[in-house]
Amino acid sequence: MHTDTEHCVRAVQSKDARFDGWFFTAVVTTGIYCRPSCPVVPPKPENMRFHPSAAACQQAGFRACKRCRPDTTPGSPEWNHRADLVARAMRLIADGVVDREGVTGLATRLGYSTRQIERQLHAELGAGPLALARAQRAQTARVLIETTELAMADTAFAAGFASIRTFNDTVREVFALTPGELRTRAGGGRRPKSTPGVLTLRLPFRAPLNPDNLFGHLAATAVPGVEEWRDGAYRRTLRLPYGPGIVALTPTPDHIACRLALTDQRDLTVAISRCRRMLDLDADPVAIDDQLRTDPLLGPLVDKAPGRRVPRTVDEAEFAVRAVLGQQVSTAAARTHAARLVTAHGDPVDDPEGALTHLFPSPKALAGLDPDTLALPRTRRTTLTTLVRQLADGELHLGVESDWHKVRAQLTALPGFGPWTVEAIAMRALGDPDAFLPTDLGVRRAAATLGLPSTPAALTTRSATWRPWRAYAVQYLWATDDHPINYMPPPTT
């Protein structure tokens, strides 16, 4: 979009927040870069330069605006609905892979050479993987500086910097302030004392956001011991690269309040990335809803409660296991089956603030389970054990970098994997926004009620007009049913 100068100028002049994260405006007369909705008087069009990423602005020598804080914008929705190399690379960079494994590790995961990745990222984003990771480290550092009382040295390493000197230089270059000045501007000494190891953050999103189906779904399907709804927040355990964590997510009108308890602060970036992905916070609801409104039968559902998101997951392998456990059973039965696995094979965690007890068991922990101990039909035992064995052996990999079409083919080849299970995993684990569940009972009931075709084949044909947002259409169809997944629990639950 940044190449459409006329469109970008109009967005900046109208201060249109819908385009925050889509592109960034660099102002040649001031040397700063802003989000499109920056509240200051817009610069003259001839002084504007448009870049596809904050990293590209920083590489061009611009610093972040202190007024609109472009580093805090939601991520580009481009990486949500694409499965090409650039989108997969961006999801991995957001997950902290470059910080942990370097560009070589990024290339290995994607199956391309480092040169190919560098070339494609530069062509589309104006910056390579190192610069993009550096911009993300700067954003993480700012969050830690402004919202915690961590010592600056601890902040530097938690944000992913290799040295304190690099941390200081980057912060000064990007924000035109020293780390100490950033903390002072944020009200350094006036913040209330925080619990050691606990961080409180604000996760931005593009409005509108309807929290009912999002938090309702997560709460209604919560696995005891791993997830819970407590005091108006969805809480769950996290399996992170450096250790376990616990997150509490609370919806508010203009952001998601995020409370993170981490064993190791270096997991902050990946924890934020996974929470944003689970809540689908980088989606562009205006574009999605505008497309779905073109269907006269679906349009009234969109107008009634716009901004529905797709509830996803923080752990793709976990969701695949839970999808198999949920085959042809009720929500309550699926939770019971999952809870038994958690108790028997999950790693214990300590949760002084709630009732969370375990991490969901990893594929390696489940690979050795005795199928005779599973209270499941024999065919479903085979389905589950085959899945966890392939996940544990690496024959099947589910992650943010996965090729959606390749994984669908791999899943379809497994015993017991029909269209519903494959598409459920594609929608909620892989994040494909066009995944569709025409055989789902709730979808078929909604279709019959609305006058849409009720047979899977006919409904799939009709759904062509909803593409590439059929996963969101599923959320609106599910919302016609009086099911707990459609209602956010009361705060006291």
Place of tokens 């569940």: 437
Q: In what order do the strands lie in the sheet with 63-64?
A: 48-51, 24-27, 32-34, 63-64
Instruction: Report the half-sphere exposure of 300 (CA within 13 A, side-chain side).
Output: 4
Q: Do residues 146 and 135 touch, judged by C-beta distance below 8 A?
A: no
Q: Do residues 58 and 131 touch, judged by C-beta distance below 8 A?
A: yes
Query: Which residues are registered as beta bridge partners of 308?
Result: 210
Using the CB atoms, write b or e for 269-291: b if 16+ within 10 Å.
Answer: bbbbbbbbbbbbbbbbbeebbeb
Q: Do residues 263 and 244 touch, judged by C-beta distance below 8 A?
A: yes
Cα of first residue to Cα of last residue in the chain, in angstroms, is 44
Q: Annotated catalytic, 34?
A: yes
Q: Return the ∠ at Cα 321 (arms to 434 and 222), rounded to 5°.
A: 85
Token pair for residue 355? 């009732």
Backbone angles phi and psi of 351, in degrees to 5? -130, 90
Q: Do residues 180 and 152 touch, judged by C-beta distance below 8 A?
A: yes
Q: Which of 8, 34, 38, 68 is catalytic?
A: 34
Phi-psi region of 276 (alpha: psi -120 to 50; beta: other; left: phi over 0): alpha
- DSSP labels, 96-141: THHHHHHHHHHHHHHTS-HHHHHHHHHHHHSS-HHHHHHHHHHHHH
Q: Alpha-carbon distance 396 to 388, whole Å?
A: 9
Q: For residue 427, what is the DSSP state?
A: I
Q: Alpha-carbon distance 361 to 367, whole Å?
A: 10
Backbone angles phi and psi of 251, in degrees to 5? -75, 135
Nearest to 225 by CA among 346, 326, 330: 346
Q: Which of 95, 315, 432, 440 is catalytic?
A: 440
Non-local CB neighbours of 140 within 8 Å, separated by 6+ positions = 158, 159, 160, 268, 269, 272
Q: Annotated catalytic, 258?
A: no
* 145-to-98, 183, 342 alpha-carbon distances in Å: 22, 6, 36
Place of tokens 């997951």: 313
Where is 198: in which H helix or E strand?
strand 198-203
Mind telling me the catalytic residues?
Answer: 34, 440
